[in-house]
Amino acid sequence: MRERTILCYGDSNTHGTMPMDTLDVMGRFGRAERWPGVLAAALGAGFHVIEEGLPGRTTVHPDPVSGVHKNGLAVLPAVLESHAPVDLVVLMLGTNDLKHRFQAPPVEIAESAAQLVLAIRHSEAGPEERAPEVLLVCPPPVLEAGCLEEIFEGGAAKSHRLAGYYAAMAERLGVRFLDAGRVIVSSPLDGVHFDAAQHARLGSAVAQAIRD
């Protein structure tokens, strides 16, 4: 039987960036600690889990500070093609869209995430050149705290409204949905990243969602 390939497409929280004390020091959890690694262990044999997490990645925005390559939609077609055939894409983006510099309201962040869902649905990156399935994960709310407080100014209130818009969009597009905010919380250290315990919980929750 062919292995099922699962592509985890996201930002620093898929990359496994540790909660940060300062902006100039970025640590990374080990492979087994990161939620895609937890997912792979939970699913076991018969699955190949690919991590595709880029710190700072947005849904559709080239970042004027961090670079145009942070645009998740622009990079997605190449990622899908390079890893094809992909059975399922676990998509978790939107946190970086909450940065003050983008001034994006929650409804627009959800609609931007929808553009990635549609790009996957319209691709031929799945088995037999069909489209991969999609599991849309809404990231948990952020806090305005620590070294990232000013960067995410105004983002906390908006982040609490994302799940409703994401859920409605997932239903409209007919894709599976998981609200990570019901499972995990962002670290109070920097308000954005997940500690090791949250990675473990999220990986297990994604595995359960895939099995369901």
- For the chain, the straight-line distance linking the first and the last C-alpha, in angstroms and rounded, comes to 20
CA dist list (Å): 88 to 3, 32, 48, 122, 124: 12, 20, 10, 14, 12
Could you tell me the two tokens for 202? 């999220």
Q: Write the pLDDT tens digit of every residue in 24-33.
A: 989 999 999 9
User: Is the CATH code 3.40.50.1110 the one for domain 4-211?
Assistant: yes
pLDDT value at 77 more than 70? yes
pLDDT at position 210 over 90: yes
Distance CA 9, CA 72 (A): 9
Percent of the chain whose pLDDT exceeds 90: 98
* Domain residue spans of the chain: 4-211
Res. 2: pLDDT tops 90: no
Q: What percent of the chain has pLDDT over 70?
A: 100
- In sequence order, the 6+-apart residues with CB closer than 8 A to the CB of 190 are 19, 20, 21, 145, 146, 147, 148
The helix (run of H) or strand (run of E) holding residue 14 is helix 12-15
Mean pLDDT, rounded, for 113-138: 98
The values of phi and psi at residue 197, to 5°, are -65, -35
pLDDT at 117: 99
Whether pTM > 0.95 for this model: the answer is yes
Is the confidence at residue 1, as pLDDT, over 70?
no
What mean pLDDT comes out for the span 166-185?
A: 98
Angle between helix 162-173 and 106-121 (nearest 10):
30
d(CA 43, CA 207): 6
Tell me the mean pLDDT in the region 7-20.
Answer: 99
CB 211 within 8 Å of CB 44: no
